[in-house]
Structure 1
Amino acid sequence: MKEGMFVIGNRGWIKTEREIRITISTNEDVCNKGAYLNLMLQLNKIARHAKGVSVNKTLPQYYNHMDLFCRFVADNYNLKTLANIQNKHLVNYVTERQSEGKSASTIKNDLAAIRYFHDQIPNPRSQLSSNQILSENYNEFHLERRRFGGVDRRPTELEYQALVTLAQQSNSSSLALIIMLCREQGLRVHEAVRLSRVDAEKALREGFLTVKGKGGLIRQIPLQTQSFSVLQDAMQRVNRGEKLFVLQDQKAHQVIQRVQDFIRNNRQKVLDPLNTRPKGVEITMHSFRHAYAKEQYELFIEKGYTEGDARLAVSKLIGHNREDVTRIYLAE
């Protein structure tokens, strides 16, 4: 038996290229399929010869943590080379995992896995800082709290409207519609980008937007007043059976990247001096979900819900179904 085959045989937890391709074709959570495949093949090459931790326990766990990270940087940064991982990728991944309600121990394992595999790369572009250094340099990076939260990430109404106006004036006015749907309906950016004209027609007819979220979880969200006109506008731009925001010569991850780049490139232009975010916490597409969650929570309280019931109701709207996750969005 060849040495390479021997290594693979003792590391059966490494996904074969065929298994990765099956994941890509069957898992709608993977948007940037090409970049994800590239990263996973690079990860496999490293994992086959990685040393220093238990091959049967720690390394398989690290591999699974790294798999999820590869999906994130592929979809959100179009990253194609593991050697190009930077601090900003870690910080934003931590924010994403916290918004999913992951525990401090899980996220620390995420970071340990990323750093472990990054250390195996011969010539990385950047050195990854320690958790302590990251917490000193990035206000949004917090790991020590037993329960995450306490960080207000919401844009003000002024910032939101200013970004919409800039998007409407851009070469791709559909960016404004995506931003508005994420804010008014509490959608993840990939959930908005995946919507089809059929989805829009159904929502306008029933008054509820049906969304397939992470893990295939389907939820129905009451259609906000402004969303009616947003969907109607989007429908006029495409034919029946087509995606609302992804043209035939485009891929979903390209549209997602364009929206995120637009926010990154313009958020400093719309800063409201009255915003309540801590210094260094920037507006992202995810910020609009925080604003939606806070708004819906206050509406439920006005209707007479208890605080716990209101948090649970909000969590269902944003696709989590866990009351404790809502605390993160409310910055409690």
Structure 2
Amino acid sequence: MKKGMLVIGNRGWIKTEREIRVAISTNEDVSNKGAYLNLMLQLNKIARHAKGVSVNKTLPQYYNHMDLFCRFVADNYNLKVLANIQNKHLVDYVSERQSEGKSASTIKNDLAAIRYFHDQIPNPRYQLSSNQILSENYNEFHLERRRFGGVDRRPTELEYQALVTLAQQSNSPSLALIIMLCREQGLRVHEAVRLSRVDAEKALREGFLTVKGKGGLIRQIPLQTQSFSVLQDAMQQVNRGEKLFVLRDQKAHQVIQRVQDFIRNNRQKVLDPLNTRPKGVEITMHSFRHAYAKEQYELFIEKGYTEGDARLAVSKLIGHNREDVTRIYLAE
């Protein structure tokens, strides 16, 4: 701490730059490490002087909530300045947290923390709307627990195939392979991007794709028929020991950003009038996990599983291991 710097109360819960760097180096859940570090250093500067809430209770909790949000906007938006937080970031973060099975109270605390720190920024570029305004303007934004699973986010098969075709015809045809793996195997985009040639060889040999998900949770997913050819195609482009989709001069977060931008830039071109999504709910990379979950659930039901057992089986495939989380993906 610089000499003469005024710090209100004991704020030992603020992570030092060294602690943040160590966490980044050991946590594979953080893809865009540079942007995340920048955001956390900005957050620290604000947190040292923030006031209006309990320094020893509420503020540390808000800091932890904001830490998670910084990871999200760094990885998904390459956001580098906290002053540029806007409504779309909140809406997408709520969807992400709901898909993780977080409770309404937890998500409301997320939003309270984000708004609190946003209010501490001297000259924010955007104003953040209230939860009520967000719910009126964004169909996918809702906080009532009873409605957590009420939004169908799935793309139709027509939309999925059209996006794959556009990706194949683009300057980065490997994006099509990433999209297909996320749809056919129910992967998070960062899980697909992290796959190496060794992972692909093992999957083709064993018939199961081994994935390291959030929190280091490892799961094995039966390899779908189409995924065999997807992995084989991806392997042809790289040498043994290399990542399937991240070139030597690239960072994983750059590839993640590229595929997410591709979906955002092209989803309006492939809209199927027969899609079942509520108005305003757009296709994202996460939408393909919803489609996978629904498809696998129906297959388990056909095999004679009870609804509860089918939901639990699906939750394990998508890396949650909680039956109630599957309800969110099924839009029940």
TM-score tier, shorter chain, comes to over 0.9
Question: Does residue 305 of structure 2 align to residue 305 of structure 1?
Answer: yes
Q: Are the structure 2 counterparts of residues 267 and 5 from structure 1 closer, same or farther at C-alpha, using a change threshold of 3 Å?
A: same
CA contact (8 A) 1:8 1:14 kept: no
Q: Aligned partners of 1:258, 1:29: CA distance in 2, in Å? A: 18
Deviation at 1:323, TM superposition (A): 0.1
Q: Are the structure 2 counterparts of residues 251 and 280 from structure 1 closer, same or farther at C-alpha, using a change threshold of 3 Å?
A: same
CA contact (8 A) 1:66 1:114 kept: yes
CA contact (8 A) 1:29 1:215 kept: yes
Unpaired runs of at least 5, structure 2: none
Q: Are the structure 2 counterparts of residues 2 and 274 from structure 1 closer, same or farther at C-alpha, using a change threshold of 3 Å?
A: closer
Deviation at 1:2, TM superposition (A): 6.8
Q: Aligned partners of 1:273, 1:219: CA distance in 2, in Å? A: 36
CA deviations on 1:139-195 (whole Å, 9 max, x unpaired) are 000012346111000000000000000000000000000000000000000000000
Q: Pairwise CA RMSD of aligned residues?
A: 1.2
Question: What is the SS of the residue equivalent to 1:275?
Answer: coil
Question: What is the SS of the residue equivalent to 1:142?
Answer: coil
Percent of aligned positions that are identical: 96
CA deviations on 1:232-251 (whole Å, 9 max, x unpaired) are 00000000000000000000
CA contact (8 A) 2:167 2:175 kept: yes
Question: What is the SS of the residue equivalent to 1:3?
Answer: coil
Question: Does residue 170 of structure 2 align to residue 170 of structure 1?
Answer: yes
Deviation at 1:10, TM superposition (A): 1.1
CA deviations on 1:66-119 (whole Å, 9 max, x unpaired) are 000000000000000000000000000000000000000000000000000000
CA deviations on 1:245-282 (whole Å, 9 max, x unpaired) are 00000000000000000000000000000000000000
What does 1:66-81 correspond to in 2, within 5 Å?
66-81=66-81
Q: Aligned partners of 2:218, 2:311: CA distance in 1, in Å? A: 19
CA deviations on 1:196-255 (whole Å, 9 max, x unpaired) are 000000000000000000000000000000000000000000000000000000000000
Q: Are the structure 2 counterparts of residues 2 and 166 from structure 1 closer, same or farther at C-alpha, using a change threshold of 3 Å?
A: closer
Question: What is the SS of the residue equivalent to 2:226?
Answer: helix
Deviation at 1:5, TM superposition (A): 6.2
Question: Does residue 102 of structure 2 align to residue 102 of structure 1?
Answer: yes
CA contact (8 A) 1:104 1:146 kept: no
Q: Are the structure 2 counterparts of residues 250 and 63 from structure 1 closer, same or farther at C-alpha, using a change threshold of 3 Å?
A: same
Q: Aligned partners of 1:288, 1:146: CA distance in 2, in Å? A: 23
Question: Does residue 33 of structure 2 align to residue 63 of structure 1?
Answer: no
Match of 1:161 in 2: 161
Q: Are the structure 2 counterparts of residues 302 and 41 from structure 1 closer, same or farther at C-alpha, using a change threshold of 3 Å?
A: same
CA contact (8 A) 2:32 2:253 kept: yes
CA contact (8 A) 2:8 2:49 kept: no
Question: What is the SS of the residue equivalent to 1:52?
Answer: coil
CA contact (8 A) 2:9 2:55 kept: no
CA contact (8 A) 1:104 1:147 kept: no
Q: Aligned partners of 2:242, 2:306: CA distance in 1, in Å? A: 42
Q: Aligned partners of 2:4, 2:115: CA distance in 1, in Å? A: 25
Q: Aligned partners of 1:178, 1:125: CA distance in 2, in Å? A: 34
CA deviations on 1:284-316 (whole Å, 9 max, x unpaired) are 000000000000000000000000000000000
CA contact (8 A) 2:197 2:241 kept: yes
CA contact (8 A) 2:24 2:30 kept: yes
Q: Aligned partners of 1:166, 1:107: CA distance in 2, in Å? A: 35
CA contact (8 A) 1:168 1:175 kept: yes
Q: Aligned partners of 1:173, 1:285: CA distance in 2, in Å? A: 16
CA deviations on 1:126-151 (whole Å, 9 max, x unpaired) are 00000000000000000123461110
CA contact (8 A) 2:78 2:257 kept: yes
Question: What is the SS of the residue equivalent to 2:254?
Answer: helix
Match of 2:16 in 1: 16
CA contact (8 A) 1:103 1:147 kept: no
Q: Are the structure 2 counterparts of residues 116 and 198 from structure 1 closer, same or farther at C-alpha, using a change threshold of 3 Å?
A: same
Q: Aligned partners of 2:319, 2:71: CA distance in 1, in Å? A: 19
Deviation at 1:6, TM superposition (A): 6.6
CA deviations on 1:23-56 (whole Å, 9 max, x unpaired) are 1000000000000000000000000000000000
Match of 1:210 in 2: 210
Deviation at 1:9, TM superposition (A): 7.6
Q: Aligned partners of 1:210, 1:322: CA distance in 2, in Å? A: 19
Greater than 6 Å deviation, 4+ residue runs:
none
Question: What is the SS of the residue equivalent to 1:210?
Answer: strand
How many residue pairs align between the two structures? 332
What TM-score do the two structures reach when normalised by structure 1?
0.98
